[in-house]
Amino acid sequence: MATTSPLNLEYVRSQFPGLDRGWTFFDNAGGSQILKGAVERINTFLIEKNVQIGGSYEVSQAAAAALYEARTAAMHLVNASRPEEIIFGNSTTALLQNLARAMHSQLSPGDEIIVTIADHESNIGPWDRLQERGVILKTWPLNKDSLTLDLADLAPLMSERTRLVCVTHCSNLLGSINPIRAISDFVHAKGAKICVDAVAFAPHRAVDVQAFDVDYYVFSLYKTYGPHYALMYGKHDLLLELDPLYHYFYGRDKVPAKLEPGNPNYELAFSTCGIVDYLVALGEQAGETGSVRQKIEAAYRAITEQENQLTERLLSYLRSRNDCQIVGHSFNRDAQRVPTIAFRFDGRNAADLCKAMDSEKIAMRFGDFHSRRLAEYLGLTDHGGMLRVSMVHYNTLEEVDRFTTALDRILSTPEGLAQAS
């Protein structure tokens, strides 16, 4: 059936120079291609403003203004209340490790933190290590029948000593979106705080931290069309309570600087402006004439519509094969599945199939995708783990069809491919 993209894909793809190199990039959950506008912002900073902030001279003042512009762009991107609620860092993993360190004075032996079995290790490991300080770690299990995180399973884990619940907004293995506002309301009603890993969500849907009512919210820019960098949102009053991670003279009230030891990478932070510029342009192309935030939301509505087509095209192919196990829901009901799709084929080793795609110039991934605890929980670590195709809005239906044609050919020619052992 013919479909029409809600996006001007010619314009979209022209904004990502890496797409011109002959590869089909289906490994976007590992890292998306970078926007031309983000690269231009990086270059502008390095050429025109590449000095330390805090000086009285003009160029230093311009560098400080650029960093504030970056925080303001990130504020619009996540709908924070103020730019100072944005913390920049090297990666989601690093930011969550820093957050755990900055909470030390708030936690006493016997306090409890809840993590989910469905998370990427970034949002489990830092909290797991707090057990060395006497913190009790509890695990919220995934319902294996519905493949959902049920509040009924969270409720008995919570107590008056529960201080924090850590959860993923979207699984990078299952591809399913969790109801963060409902979870947040439940957690807050129990007197605890919530920390959300949004790495697998932010490239696909508009982030609205105020609507979600989250306390801490973290994701990577390098998976959201920028460079290898990341940002964390925190409610301002909670950021004030965190322990400083910088020099002793950076007091608790010095937010956000006290949580960015050594200062952020200015040029990579400045690239956030290029990401927002691009989303604003997409929103304008969709007919939105309102605020920056309204244009961002319009852009993501168009992105979602485009990605829903990609998701259904691949899922329908996988459903048609009687030798394929789709990991997660096999239908994208109510657009609650992003185009991050993991799957396995009977009697086939995922590593061999993935490597066979290399010669087709189709980039994808196999394994457990750093969600090892979930892969082990679901019994999906044998035979090389899983194959994963992770798409974003610049991918096309033609690319999906090229992939499935190549996969049919590879699956029909077992010679040269090792059988699953």
**In 3-state terms, what secondary structure has residue 279?**
helix
Q: How far is CA 276 from CA 99, 174, 196, 221, in A?
A: 25, 28, 22, 11
Angular region, 353: left φ>0, alpha ψ -120 to 50, beta rest:
alpha
Nearest to 272 by CA among 66, 30, 17: 66
Give the span between the Cα atoms of 25 and 412, in whole angstroms. Answer: 23
| Every domain range in the chain assigned CATH 3.40.640.10 | 38-276
Round to whole Å and give the CA distance between 61 and 22.
42
Q: Enumerate the H helices of 227-383 as residue ranges.
A: 236-241, 266-285, 292-320, 350-358, 372-377
Q: Where in the chain is the domain with CATH 3.90.1150.10?
A: 9-33+301-406
For every one of its 421 residues, what pLDDT tens digit does the chain have, with 9 covering 90 and above?
456 778 999 999 999 999 999 999 999 999 999 999 999 999 999 999 999 999 999 999 999 999 999 999 999 999 999 999 999 999 999 999 999 999 999 999 999 999 999 999 999 999 999 999 999 999 999 999 999 999 999 999 999 999 999 999 999 999 999 999 999 999 999 999 999 999 999 999 999 999 999 999 999 999 999 999 999 999 999 999 999 999 999 999 999 999 999 999 999 999 999 999 999 999 999 999 999 999 999 999 999 999 999 999 999 999 999 999 999 999 999 999 999 999 999 999 999 999 999 999 999 999 999 999 999 999 999 999 999 999 999 999 999 999 999 999 999 976 444 444 3
Q: Give the CA-trace dihedral at 105, 107, 109, 112, to 10 degrees.
A: -170
Please compute Rg for the chain using Cα positions.
22
Fold for the domain defined by 9-33+301-406? Aspartate Aminotransferase, domain 1 (3.90.1150)
Prediction pTM value: 0.96
Distance set, CA 33 to CA 12, 203, 222, 223, 398 (Å): 12, 11, 8, 8, 18
Is the CA virtual torsion 101, 106, 112, 118 positive or negative? negative
CATH code for 38-276? 3.40.640.10
Q: Determine contact, residues 247/77, Cβ cutoff 8 Å.
A: no
> What's the rounded Cα separation, in Å, for the pair 339 and 310?
7
Site of tokens 């795609």: 357
